[in-house]
Chain A
Protein backbone atom coordinates (compact mmCIF):
# COMPACT_ATOMS: atom_id res chain seq x y z
CA UNK A 1 0.00 0.00 0.00
CA UNK A 2 3.09 2.18 -0.13
CA UNK A 3 2.05 3.77 -3.41
CA UNK A 4 -1.11 5.16 -1.82
CA UNK A 5 0.50 8.24 -0.36
CA UNK A 6 -1.21 11.60 -0.44
CA UNK A 7 0.44 14.44 -2.24
CA UNK A 8 1.12 16.77 0.61
CA UNK A 9 -0.11 20.29 0.24
CA UNK A 10 1.03 23.16 2.33
CA UNK A 11 -1.83 24.89 4.11
CA UNK A 12 -0.30 28.35 3.73
CA UNK A 13 0.31 28.23 -0.01
CA UNK A 14 -2.80 26.28 -0.94
CA UNK A 15 -4.96 29.20 -2.04
CA UNK A 16 -3.16 30.32 -5.21
CA UNK A 17 -3.48 27.63 -7.88
CA UNK A 18 -6.39 25.74 -6.38
CA UNK A 19 -9.94 26.23 -7.46
CA UNK A 20 -12.80 25.62 -5.07
CA UNK A 21 -15.29 23.26 -6.70
CA UNK A 22 -17.77 22.91 -3.89
CA UNK A 23 -18.23 25.20 -0.98
CA UNK A 24 -20.44 24.89 2.10
CA UNK A 25 -21.31 28.01 4.05
CA UNK A 26 -22.84 28.15 7.56
CA UNK A 27 -24.95 25.06 6.95
CA UNK A 28 -27.27 23.63 9.57
CA UNK A 29 -28.98 20.28 9.17
CA UNK A 30 -31.76 18.84 11.29
CA UNK A 31 -33.70 15.62 11.77
CA UNK A 32 -36.90 16.87 13.33
CA UNK A 33 -35.68 18.55 16.52
CA UNK A 34 -32.20 17.00 16.36
CA UNK A 35 -29.54 19.45 15.24
CA UNK A 36 -27.23 17.11 13.32
CA UNK A 37 -24.86 19.60 11.66
CA UNK A 38 -24.12 22.97 13.29
CA UNK A 39 -23.13 25.93 11.18
CA UNK A 40 -20.59 24.08 9.05
CA UNK A 41 -18.40 25.89 6.50
CA UNK A 42 -15.87 24.07 4.35
CA UNK A 43 -14.37 24.26 0.86
CA UNK A 44 -13.75 21.26 -1.37
CA UNK A 45 -10.94 21.88 -3.80
CA UNK A 46 -11.06 20.70 -7.40
CA UNK A 47 -9.02 17.57 -8.07
CA UNK A 48 -8.45 16.86 -4.41
CA UNK A 49 -9.72 14.23 -2.01
CA UNK A 50 -11.21 15.60 1.17
CA UNK A 51 -11.83 13.17 4.01
CA UNK A 52 -14.36 13.78 6.75
CA UNK A 53 -13.56 11.96 9.97
CA UNK A 54 -15.10 11.89 13.42
CA UNK A 55 -16.72 9.52 15.91
CA UNK A 56 -19.99 7.73 15.16
CA UNK A 57 -23.00 10.01 15.16
CA UNK A 58 -20.94 13.20 14.80
CA UNK A 59 -22.92 14.21 11.71
CA UNK A 60 -20.30 13.46 9.05
CA UNK A 61 -22.65 11.42 6.87
CA UNK A 62 -25.37 14.02 7.26
CA UNK A 63 -22.96 16.76 6.19
CA UNK A 64 -22.04 14.68 3.13
CA UNK A 65 -25.70 14.09 2.28
CA UNK A 66 -26.36 17.83 2.42
CA UNK A 67 -23.93 18.33 -0.47
CA UNK A 68 -26.09 16.50 -3.05
CA UNK A 69 -29.41 17.25 -1.36
CA UNK A 70 -29.91 13.65 -0.25
CA UNK A 71 -30.51 14.78 3.33
CA UNK A 72 -33.92 16.17 2.41
CA UNK A 73 -35.15 12.77 1.19
CA UNK A 74 -35.54 11.66 4.81
CA UNK A 75 -38.90 12.65 6.35
CA UNK A 76 -38.62 15.53 8.89
CA UNK A 77 -35.13 16.40 7.62
CA UNK A 78 -34.33 20.08 7.10
CA UNK A 79 -31.38 22.12 5.82
CA UNK A 80 -30.42 25.78 6.26
CA UNK A 81 -27.44 27.49 4.67
CA UNK A 82 -25.76 27.33 1.30
CA UNK A 83 -23.77 24.86 -0.76
CA UNK A 84 -22.15 26.42 -3.82
CA UNK A 85 -21.23 24.19 -6.76
CA UNK A 86 -19.03 26.20 -9.15
CA UNK A 87 -20.48 29.39 -7.69
CA UNK A 88 -24.13 28.36 -7.85
CA UNK A 89 -26.16 27.63 -4.76
CA UNK A 90 -27.63 24.13 -4.96
CA UNK A 91 -30.25 25.15 -2.40
CA UNK A 92 -31.31 28.27 -4.33
CA UNK A 93 -34.97 28.66 -5.19
CA UNK A 94 -35.77 27.06 -8.53
CA UNK A 95 -32.85 24.62 -8.39
CA UNK A 96 -34.02 21.05 -8.69
CA UNK A 97 -32.40 18.39 -6.47
CA UNK A 98 -32.25 16.12 -9.52
CA UNK A 99 -30.10 18.59 -11.46
CA UNK A 100 -27.77 18.83 -8.47
CA UNK A 101 -27.42 15.05 -8.16
CA UNK A 102 -26.56 14.83 -11.84
CA UNK A 103 -23.37 16.77 -11.07
CA UNK A 104 -22.64 15.28 -7.66
CA UNK A 105 -22.50 11.49 -7.63
CA UNK A 106 -22.67 9.37 -4.49
CA UNK A 107 -21.66 5.91 -3.30
CA UNK A 108 -22.95 4.41 -0.08
CA UNK A 109 -21.70 2.31 2.79
CA UNK A 110 -23.13 -0.93 1.44
CA UNK A 111 -22.89 -1.77 -2.26
CA UNK A 112 -26.21 -1.01 -3.95
CA UNK A 113 -26.19 -2.60 -7.40
CA UNK A 114 -29.71 -2.73 -8.87
CA UNK A 115 -30.58 -6.43 -8.57
CA UNK A 116 -32.85 -6.52 -11.61
CA UNK A 117 -30.20 -5.08 -13.94
CA UNK A 118 -27.18 -6.61 -15.62
CA UNK A 119 -23.69 -5.33 -14.94
CA UNK A 120 -23.80 -3.22 -18.12
CA UNK A 121 -27.21 -1.75 -17.32
CA UNK A 122 -26.10 -0.94 -13.79
CA UNK A 123 -23.20 1.16 -15.06
CA UNK A 124 -25.46 2.83 -17.63
CA UNK A 125 -28.30 3.33 -15.14
CA UNK A 126 -27.61 7.06 -14.73
CA UNK A 127 -28.34 7.63 -18.42
CA UNK A 128 -31.75 6.01 -18.39
CA UNK A 129 -33.37 9.07 -16.87
CA UNK A 130 -32.02 11.40 -19.54
CA UNK A 131 -34.73 10.37 -22.00
CA UNK A 132 -34.05 11.73 -25.49
CA UNK A 133 -30.69 13.10 -24.39
CA UNK A 134 -29.39 9.66 -23.51
CA UNK A 135 -26.47 8.43 -25.60
CA UNK A 136 -27.07 5.83 -28.27
CA UNK A 137 -26.36 2.15 -27.70
CA UNK A 138 -22.85 2.06 -29.20
CA UNK A 139 -21.84 5.25 -27.44
CA UNK A 140 -23.24 3.86 -24.20
CA UNK A 141 -21.17 0.68 -24.56
CA UNK A 142 -18.11 2.89 -24.89
CA UNK A 143 -19.07 4.86 -21.77
CA UNK A 144 -19.68 1.65 -19.81
CA UNK A 145 -16.27 0.31 -20.83
CA UNK A 146 -14.55 3.55 -19.86
CA UNK A 147 -16.26 3.66 -16.47
CA UNK A 148 -15.34 0.04 -15.76
CA UNK A 149 -11.75 0.69 -16.86
CA UNK A 150 -11.54 3.67 -14.53
CA UNK A 151 -12.64 1.51 -11.62
CA UNK A 152 -10.28 -1.33 -12.61
CA UNK A 153 -13.24 -3.64 -13.02
CA UNK A 154 -13.17 -4.12 -16.78
CA UNK A 155 -10.85 -7.14 -16.82
CA UNK A 156 -12.91 -8.85 -14.15
CA UNK A 157 -16.36 -8.36 -15.69
CA UNK A 158 -15.94 -7.70 -19.43
CA UNK A 159 -16.86 -11.30 -20.22
CA UNK A 160 -20.13 -11.19 -18.30
CA UNK A 161 -21.57 -7.72 -18.83
CA UNK A 162 -25.04 -9.16 -19.38
CA UNK A 163 -25.10 -11.15 -16.15
CA UNK A 164 -26.65 -10.02 -12.92
CA UNK A 165 -24.61 -7.63 -10.81
CA UNK A 166 -25.65 -9.68 -7.78
CA UNK A 167 -23.17 -12.37 -8.79
CA UNK A 168 -20.20 -10.08 -8.11
CA UNK A 169 -18.28 -10.06 -4.84
CA UNK A 170 -18.90 -7.28 -2.32
CA UNK A 171 -15.76 -5.41 -3.35
CA UNK A 172 -16.59 -5.74 -7.05
CA UNK A 173 -20.15 -4.55 -6.37
CA UNK A 174 -18.82 -1.47 -4.61
CA UNK A 175 -16.45 -0.67 -7.48
CA UNK A 176 -19.38 -1.21 -9.84
CA UNK A 177 -21.34 1.38 -7.85
CA UNK A 178 -18.41 3.79 -8.17
CA UNK A 179 -18.32 3.11 -11.92
CA UNK A 180 -22.07 3.74 -12.07
CA UNK A 181 -21.64 7.06 -10.27
CA UNK A 182 -18.71 8.07 -12.50
CA UNK A 183 -20.28 7.08 -15.82
CA UNK A 184 -22.32 10.28 -16.07
CA UNK A 185 -19.16 12.39 -15.53
CA UNK A 186 -20.11 14.14 -12.28
CA UNK A 187 -18.00 17.05 -11.08
CA UNK A 188 -17.95 15.74 -7.53
CA UNK A 189 -18.03 12.21 -6.11
CA UNK A 190 -19.29 11.66 -2.56
CA UNK A 191 -18.26 8.45 -0.80
CA UNK A 192 -20.09 7.57 2.43
CA UNK A 193 -17.84 5.06 4.24
CA UNK A 194 -17.38 3.14 0.98
CA UNK A 195 -15.22 0.41 2.52
CA UNK A 196 -17.15 -0.13 5.77
CA UNK A 197 -18.61 -3.42 4.57
CA UNK A 198 -15.57 -4.68 2.62
CA UNK A 199 -12.71 -7.05 3.40
CA UNK A 200 -9.15 -5.63 3.65
CA UNK A 201 -8.16 -6.57 0.09
CA UNK A 202 -11.27 -5.00 -1.46
CA UNK A 203 -10.75 -2.00 0.81
CA UNK A 204 -7.25 -1.55 -0.55
CA UNK A 205 -8.54 -1.69 -4.13
CA UNK A 206 -11.17 0.94 -3.43
CA UNK A 207 -8.61 3.14 -1.69
CA UNK A 208 -6.22 2.90 -4.63
CA UNK A 209 -9.12 3.78 -6.88
CA UNK A 210 -10.02 6.85 -4.84
CA UNK A 211 -6.41 7.93 -4.98
CA UNK A 212 -6.42 7.58 -8.77
CA UNK A 213 -9.73 9.39 -9.20
CA UNK A 214 -8.53 12.70 -7.73
CA UNK A 215 -7.11 13.65 -11.14
CA UNK A 216 -10.49 13.70 -12.79
CA UNK A 217 -13.06 14.35 -10.10
CA UNK A 218 -13.37 16.15 -6.79
CA UNK A 219 -13.81 13.52 -4.09
CA UNK A 220 -15.32 13.85 -0.62
CA UNK A 221 -15.01 10.69 1.48
CA UNK A 222 -16.55 10.05 4.88
CA UNK A 223 -14.68 7.48 6.91
CA UNK A 224 -14.49 6.32 10.50
CA UNK A 225 -11.04 5.00 9.78
CA UNK A 226 -8.31 7.57 10.41
CA UNK A 227 -5.65 5.48 8.67
CA UNK A 228 -7.83 5.47 5.58
CA UNK A 229 -8.22 9.24 5.70
CA UNK A 230 -4.45 9.56 6.02
CA UNK A 231 -3.88 7.21 3.10
CA UNK A 232 -6.28 8.60 0.53
CA UNK A 233 -6.97 12.24 1.29
CA UNK A 234 -5.28 15.57 0.60
CA UNK A 235 -7.36 17.46 3.10
CA UNK A 236 -9.15 16.22 6.17
CA UNK A 237 -12.07 17.66 8.10
CA UNK A 238 -12.72 16.61 11.67
CA UNK A 239 -16.26 16.67 13.03
CA UNK A 240 -17.49 16.31 16.60
CA UNK A 241 -21.04 16.58 17.90
CA UNK A 242 -22.34 18.12 14.69
CA UNK A 243 -19.63 20.75 14.64
CA UNK A 244 -16.90 21.00 12.04
CA UNK A 245 -13.94 21.37 14.37
CA UNK A 246 -11.04 21.67 11.99
CA UNK A 247 -10.26 21.45 8.28
CA UNK A 248 -6.63 21.24 7.22
CA UNK A 249 -4.26 19.49 4.84
CA UNK A 250 -4.26 15.86 5.92
CA UNK A 251 -0.63 15.83 7.01
CA UNK A 252 -1.08 18.95 9.11
CA UNK A 253 -4.25 17.69 10.73
CA UNK A 254 -2.66 14.40 11.73
CA UNK A 255 0.68 15.83 12.89
CA UNK A 256 0.05 19.33 14.22
CA UNK A 257 -3.69 19.90 14.74
CA UNK A 258 -4.73 23.35 15.93
CA UNK A 259 -7.66 22.26 18.03
CA UNK A 260 -7.14 20.26 21.20
CA UNK A 261 -10.25 18.18 20.45
CA UNK A 262 -8.77 17.10 17.12
CA UNK A 263 -5.58 16.15 18.89
CA UNK A 264 -7.48 14.11 21.48
CA UNK A 265 -9.37 12.28 18.75
CA UNK A 266 -6.42 11.43 16.53
CA UNK A 267 -4.34 10.31 19.49
CA UNK A 268 -7.17 7.96 20.39
CA UNK A 269 -8.32 9.58 23.61
CA UNK A 270 -11.98 9.23 22.57
CA UNK A 271 -14.14 8.00 19.73
Chain B
Protein backbone atom coordinates (compact mmCIF):
# COMPACT_ATOMS: atom_id res chain seq x y z
CA UNK B 1 0.00 0.00 0.00
CA UNK B 2 2.76 2.38 1.00
CA UNK B 3 4.55 1.55 -2.25
CA UNK B 4 1.49 2.48 -4.30
CA UNK B 5 1.20 5.78 -2.44
CA UNK B 6 4.85 6.59 -3.13
CA UNK B 7 4.37 5.67 -6.77
CA UNK B 8 1.30 7.92 -7.03
CA UNK B 9 3.17 10.78 -5.38
CA UNK B 10 6.02 10.42 -7.86
CA UNK B 11 3.61 10.19 -10.80
CA UNK B 12 1.85 13.34 -9.56
CA UNK B 13 5.02 15.39 -9.73
CA UNK B 14 6.40 13.73 -12.85
CA UNK B 15 4.47 15.84 -15.42
CA UNK B 16 5.79 19.07 -13.92
CA UNK B 17 9.36 17.78 -13.83
CA UNK B 18 9.04 16.54 -17.40
CA UNK B 19 7.47 19.78 -18.69
CA UNK B 20 9.99 22.01 -16.92
CA UNK B 21 12.89 19.91 -18.09
CA UNK B 22 11.72 19.80 -21.68
CA UNK B 23 10.97 23.54 -21.71
CA UNK B 24 14.40 24.40 -20.38
CA UNK B 25 16.13 22.15 -22.90
CA UNK B 26 14.16 23.59 -25.80
CA UNK B 27 13.72 27.20 -24.75
CA UNK B 28 16.54 28.25 -22.46
CA UNK B 29 18.98 28.72 -25.33
CA UNK B 30 16.73 31.33 -26.95
CA UNK B 31 16.41 33.42 -23.82
CA UNK B 32 18.70 36.39 -23.85
CA UNK B 33 18.43 40.08 -23.06
CA UNK B 34 17.12 40.55 -26.61
CA UNK B 35 14.18 38.31 -25.84
CA UNK B 36 12.92 40.78 -23.24
CA UNK B 37 13.83 44.02 -25.01
CA UNK B 38 13.44 43.41 -28.77
CA UNK B 39 10.39 43.17 -30.95
CA UNK B 40 9.59 40.12 -33.10
CA UNK B 41 11.57 40.03 -36.34
CA UNK B 42 10.13 39.14 -39.75
CA UNK B 43 10.30 35.54 -40.89
CA UNK B 44 13.75 34.55 -42.03
CA UNK B 45 15.60 36.99 -39.83
CA UNK B 46 17.29 35.46 -36.81
CA UNK B 47 16.99 36.88 -33.29
CA UNK B 48 14.35 39.24 -32.07
CA UNK B 49 12.30 39.02 -28.89
CA UNK B 50 8.85 39.13 -27.40
CA UNK B 51 8.98 42.48 -25.63
CA UNK B 52 5.54 43.43 -26.89
CA UNK B 53 4.00 40.17 -25.65
CA UNK B 54 5.58 40.48 -22.20
CA UNK B 55 4.34 44.06 -21.82
CA UNK B 56 0.95 43.02 -23.23
CA UNK B 57 0.58 40.29 -20.64
CA UNK B 58 1.43 42.76 -17.88
CA UNK B 59 -1.12 45.26 -19.23
CA UNK B 60 -3.81 42.56 -19.40
CA UNK B 61 -3.00 41.41 -15.84
CA UNK B 62 -3.29 45.05 -14.74
CA UNK B 63 -6.74 45.52 -16.27
CA UNK B 64 -7.94 42.15 -14.98
CA UNK B 65 -6.74 42.93 -11.45
CA UNK B 66 -8.34 46.37 -11.49
CA UNK B 67 -11.65 44.63 -12.21
CA UNK B 68 -11.27 41.31 -10.42
CA UNK B 69 -9.70 42.38 -7.13
CA UNK B 70 -12.12 45.05 -5.87
CA UNK B 71 -15.20 43.14 -6.97
CA UNK B 72 -13.86 39.82 -5.71
CA UNK B 73 -12.75 41.14 -2.32
CA UNK B 74 -16.01 43.06 -1.89
CA UNK B 75 -18.11 40.03 -2.78
CA UNK B 76 -16.03 37.82 -0.48
CA UNK B 77 -16.54 40.27 2.38
CA UNK B 78 -20.26 40.26 1.65
CA UNK B 79 -20.40 36.44 1.70
CA UNK B 80 -18.54 36.26 5.00
CA UNK B 81 -20.59 38.99 6.68
CA UNK B 82 -23.99 37.83 5.44
CA UNK B 83 -23.17 34.17 6.03
CA UNK B 84 -26.22 31.91 6.02
CA UNK B 85 -28.61 34.35 4.34
CA UNK B 86 -30.38 33.36 1.13
CA UNK B 87 -28.66 36.11 -0.85
CA UNK B 88 -25.25 34.97 0.32
CA UNK B 89 -25.96 31.35 -0.59
CA UNK B 90 -27.19 32.41 -4.03
CA UNK B 91 -24.13 34.60 -4.62
CA UNK B 92 -21.80 31.82 -3.47
CA UNK B 93 -23.48 29.30 -5.77
CA UNK B 94 -23.35 31.63 -8.78
CA UNK B 95 -19.74 32.45 -8.02
CA UNK B 96 -18.90 28.73 -8.04
CA UNK B 97 -20.70 28.32 -11.36
CA UNK B 98 -18.74 31.25 -12.77
CA UNK B 99 -15.56 29.62 -11.52
CA UNK B 100 -16.39 26.43 -13.38
CA UNK B 101 -17.23 28.22 -16.62
CA UNK B 102 -14.88 27.26 -19.47
CA UNK B 103 -12.51 30.13 -20.14
CA UNK B 104 -13.42 30.25 -23.83
CA UNK B 105 -16.96 31.19 -22.75
CA UNK B 106 -15.51 34.17 -20.92
CA UNK B 107 -13.88 35.17 -24.19
CA UNK B 108 -17.15 34.86 -26.09
CA UNK B 109 -18.87 36.95 -23.44
CA UNK B 110 -16.31 39.75 -23.73
CA UNK B 111 -16.39 39.50 -27.52
CA UNK B 112 -20.17 39.83 -27.55
CA UNK B 113 -20.32 42.84 -25.26
CA UNK B 114 -17.07 44.69 -25.93
CA UNK B 115 -15.62 43.63 -29.26
CA UNK B 116 -18.76 43.50 -31.41
CA UNK B 117 -20.37 46.77 -30.31
CA UNK B 118 -17.05 48.64 -30.70
CA UNK B 119 -16.20 46.95 -33.95
CA UNK B 120 -12.61 46.01 -33.10
CA UNK B 121 -10.51 43.81 -30.84
CA UNK B 122 -8.95 45.54 -27.84
CA UNK B 123 -6.75 45.06 -24.80
CA UNK B 124 -9.67 46.27 -22.69
CA UNK B 125 -11.89 43.42 -23.89
CA UNK B 126 -9.18 40.87 -23.09
CA UNK B 127 -8.64 42.41 -19.66
CA UNK B 128 -12.37 42.27 -18.92
CA UNK B 129 -12.52 38.60 -19.90
CA UNK B 130 -9.59 37.80 -17.60
CA UNK B 131 -11.00 40.03 -14.85
CA UNK B 132 -14.30 38.15 -14.97
CA UNK B 133 -12.33 34.94 -14.50
CA UNK B 134 -10.56 36.40 -11.48
CA UNK B 135 -13.72 37.48 -9.66
CA UNK B 136 -14.91 34.06 -8.43
CA UNK B 137 -11.37 32.99 -7.50
CA UNK B 138 -10.80 36.08 -5.38
CA UNK B 139 -14.34 35.96 -3.95
CA UNK B 140 -13.95 32.47 -2.53
CA UNK B 141 -10.48 32.91 -1.05
CA UNK B 142 -11.50 36.24 0.48
CA UNK B 143 -14.57 34.65 2.06
CA UNK B 144 -12.57 31.74 3.43
CA UNK B 145 -9.81 33.95 4.82
CA UNK B 146 -12.33 36.24 6.51
CA UNK B 147 -14.11 33.27 8.06
CA UNK B 148 -10.81 32.29 9.68
CA UNK B 149 -10.84 35.56 11.66
CA UNK B 150 -12.24 34.70 15.11
CA UNK B 151 -15.67 36.13 15.95
CA UNK B 152 -14.16 37.21 19.26
CA UNK B 153 -11.97 39.71 17.42
CA UNK B 154 -14.98 41.24 15.73
CA UNK B 155 -16.83 41.43 19.05
CA UNK B 156 -13.82 43.06 20.68
CA UNK B 157 -13.88 45.80 18.06
CA UNK B 158 -17.64 46.30 18.39
CA UNK B 159 -17.28 46.50 22.18
CA UNK B 160 -14.66 49.23 21.65
CA UNK B 161 -17.38 51.30 19.96
CA UNK B 162 -16.24 50.50 16.42
CA UNK B 163 -19.10 50.88 13.94
CA UNK B 164 -19.91 47.77 11.93
CA UNK B 165 -18.24 48.93 8.73
CA UNK B 166 -15.09 50.03 10.57
CA UNK B 167 -14.94 46.63 12.24
CA UNK B 168 -15.26 44.87 8.88
CA UNK B 169 -12.63 46.97 7.16
CA UNK B 170 -10.00 47.84 9.76
CA UNK B 171 -10.17 44.76 11.96
CA UNK B 172 -11.63 41.79 10.06
CA UNK B 173 -10.40 42.53 6.55
CA UNK B 174 -7.06 43.78 7.86
CA UNK B 175 -6.50 40.61 9.88
CA UNK B 176 -7.39 38.46 6.87
CA UNK B 177 -5.25 40.53 4.49
CA UNK B 178 -2.19 38.26 4.17
CA UNK B 179 -4.45 35.38 3.15
CA UNK B 180 -6.38 37.57 0.73
CA UNK B 181 -3.15 38.80 -0.87
CA UNK B 182 -2.09 35.19 -1.34
CA UNK B 183 -5.43 34.35 -2.93
CA UNK B 184 -5.18 37.36 -5.23
CA UNK B 185 -1.67 36.39 -6.36
CA UNK B 186 -2.78 32.82 -7.01
CA UNK B 187 -5.65 34.20 -9.11
CA UNK B 188 -3.23 36.43 -11.05
CA UNK B 189 -0.94 33.46 -11.67
CA UNK B 190 -3.93 31.49 -12.86
CA UNK B 191 -5.10 34.06 -15.44
CA UNK B 192 -1.61 35.05 -16.60
CA UNK B 193 -1.40 31.89 -18.67
CA UNK B 194 -4.93 31.90 -20.07
CA UNK B 195 -5.12 31.81 -23.85
CA UNK B 196 -8.71 31.02 -24.77
CA UNK B 197 -10.34 34.19 -23.37
CA UNK B 198 -7.86 36.29 -25.36
CA UNK B 199 -8.27 34.63 -28.77
CA UNK B 200 -11.00 36.93 -29.97
CA UNK B 201 -10.74 39.77 -27.47
CA UNK B 202 -7.12 40.95 -27.10
CA UNK B 203 -6.46 39.07 -30.35
CA UNK B 204 -2.69 39.54 -30.37
CA UNK B 205 -0.53 42.09 -32.09
CA UNK B 206 2.78 41.80 -33.91
CA UNK B 207 3.60 45.40 -33.07
CA UNK B 208 4.30 47.43 -29.99
CA UNK B 209 1.09 48.62 -28.34
CA UNK B 210 0.06 49.61 -24.86
CA UNK B 211 -3.22 51.20 -25.90
CA UNK B 212 -6.26 49.72 -24.20
CA UNK B 213 -8.34 50.46 -27.27
CA UNK B 214 -6.25 48.41 -29.70
CA UNK B 215 -5.42 44.73 -30.05
CA UNK B 216 -2.56 43.78 -27.77
CA UNK B 217 -0.08 40.95 -27.71
CA UNK B 218 0.15 38.49 -24.86
CA UNK B 219 2.62 35.73 -24.07
CA UNK B 220 0.15 32.84 -24.31
CA UNK B 221 -1.20 34.18 -27.65
CA UNK B 222 2.27 34.68 -29.05
CA UNK B 223 3.32 31.20 -27.96
CA UNK B 224 0.25 29.80 -29.71
CA UNK B 225 0.88 31.74 -32.93
CA UNK B 226 4.57 30.86 -33.04
CA UNK B 227 4.02 27.23 -32.17
CA UNK B 228 1.63 26.62 -35.08
CA UNK B 229 3.86 28.49 -37.52
CA UNK B 230 6.12 26.46 -39.87
CA UNK B 231 9.32 28.35 -39.00
CA UNK B 232 12.06 26.96 -36.77
CA UNK B 233 13.05 30.43 -35.55
CA UNK B 234 9.54 31.03 -34.31
CA UNK B 235 9.33 27.61 -32.70
CA UNK B 236 12.38 28.53 -30.63
CA UNK B 237 10.76 31.79 -29.56
CA UNK B 238 7.60 29.90 -28.60
CA UNK B 239 9.62 27.60 -26.33
CA UNK B 240 11.39 30.57 -24.80
CA UNK B 241 8.05 32.34 -24.31
CA UNK B 242 6.73 29.29 -22.48
CA UNK B 243 9.74 29.30 -20.16
CA UNK B 244 9.22 33.00 -19.39
CA UNK B 245 5.49 32.50 -18.80
CA UNK B 246 6.15 29.64 -16.38
CA UNK B 247 8.84 31.70 -14.64
CA UNK B 248 6.34 34.55 -14.26
CA UNK B 249 3.75 32.24 -12.70
CA UNK B 250 6.43 30.71 -10.47
CA UNK B 251 7.57 34.13 -9.23
CA UNK B 252 3.97 35.12 -8.46
CA UNK B 253 3.39 31.84 -6.59
CA UNK B 254 6.55 32.35 -4.56
CA UNK B 255 5.45 35.90 -3.75
CA UNK B 256 2.14 34.44 -2.60
CA UNK B 257 3.91 32.04 -0.26
CA UNK B 258 6.04 34.84 1.11
CA UNK B 259 2.98 37.03 1.70
CA UNK B 260 1.37 34.25 3.74
CA UNK B 261 4.42 33.88 5.90
CA UNK B 262 4.86 37.57 6.69
CA UNK B 263 1.85 37.75 8.96
CA UNK B 264 2.99 40.69 11.01
CA UNK B 265 4.94 43.32 9.16
CA UNK B 266 4.98 46.97 10.03
CA UNK B 267 3.11 47.85 13.20
CA UNK B 268 2.27 51.37 12.08
CA UNK B 269 -1.22 50.36 10.94
Contact (A177, B156) CB under 8 Å given A114-B171, A115-B175, A129-B163: yes
Q: Which of A112, A166, A177 has the most CB of B within 10 A?
A: A112
A112-147 interface code vs B (CB 8 A; 1 in, 0 out):
101111101100011011000000000000000000
Nearest residue (CB) in A for B264 is A164
Q: Does B166 contact A (CB under 8 A)?
A: yes
Main secondary structure of the interface of A (DSSP, over half): mixed
Complex: A120 Cα to B268 Cα, angstroms: 10
Contact with B along A85-124 (1 / 0, CB 8 A): 0000000000000110110011011101011111011000
Measured CB to CB, the nearest residue on chain B to A99 is B161
Given contacts A108-B152, A112-B152, A116-B177, contact A101 B267 (CB under 8 A): no
Query: Does A116 contact B174, Cβ atoms closer than 8 Å?
Result: yes
Check if B159 is an interface residue, CB within 8 A of chain A.
yes
A13 within 8 A of B: no
Task: Report the separation of the CA atoms of residues A120 and B267 in the bound assembly, to the nearest whole angstrom.
Answer: 9
Per-position binary interface string of chain B over residues 158-201, scored 1 when its CB falls under 8 Å from any chain A CB and 0 otherwise: 11111100100011001101000000000000000000000000
Q: In the complex, are the beta carbons of A115 and B264 less than 8 A apart? A: yes
CB B156 to nearest CB in A, in angstroms, measures 4
A50 within 8 Å of B by Cβ?
Answer: no
Check A70 against B159 for contact (C-beta < 8 Å).
Answer: yes
Tell me how far the C-beta of A124 lies from the nearest C-beta in chain B, rounded to whole angstroms. 11
Chain B residue contacts of A109, Cβ below 8 A: 152
**In the complex, which of the residues B84, B156, B163 contacts A114, with contact meaning CB atoms closer than 8 Å?**
B156
- Check if A216 is an interface residue, CB within 8 A of chain B: no
Q: Which chain A residues in 233-247 approach chain B with CB under 8 Å?
A: none
Contact residues on A (Cβ < 8 Å of other chain), bracket: 20 to 34
Do the beta carbons of B160 and A125 come within 8 Å of each other?
yes
Given contacts A98-B161, A129-B163, A129-B166, contact A112 B156 (CB under 8 A): yes
Q: Which of B153, B161, B174 has the most CB of A within 10 A?
A: B161
How far is A162 from B155 in the complex, measured between Cα atoms in Å? 24
Minimum C-beta distance from B166 to chain A (A)? 6
A251 interface residue per 8 A CB criterion:
no
Partner of A68, one of B159, B170, B268: B159
Cβ distance A249 to chain B, nearest Cβ, rounded Å: 28
Q: Chain B interface (Cβ within 8 Å of chain A)?
A: 84, 150, 152-153, 155-163, 166, 170-171, 174-175, 177, 263-264, 267-269
Which A residues are within 8 Å of any B CB, using their own CB?
Answer: 68, 70, 73, 75, 98-99, 101-102, 105-106, 108-110, 112, 114-118, 120-121, 125-126, 128-129, 162-164, 166, 177, 180-181, 184
Can you pick out 26 interface pairs between chain A and chain B where the beta carbons lie within 8 Å of each other? Answer: A68-B159, A70-B158, A98-B161, A101-B160, A105-B159, A105-B160, A108-B152, A108-B156, A109-B152, A112-B155, A112-B156, A114-B156, A114-B175, A115-B264, A116-B175, A121-B267, A125-B157, A125-B160, A128-B170, A129-B161, A129-B162, A129-B163, A162-B267, A163-B267, A184-B160, A184-B161
Sample of 12 more A-B contacts, CB < 8 Å, known A68-B159, A98-B162, A126-B161: A70-B159, A73-B158, A106-B159, A112-B155, A114-B153, A114-B171, A114-B175, A115-B175, A116-B175, A121-B267, A125-B157, A181-B160
Which 8 pairs of residues, A with B, have the shortest CB-CB distance?
A118-B267, A112-B156, A106-B159, A102-B161, A101-B161, A164-B264, A126-B160, A112-B152
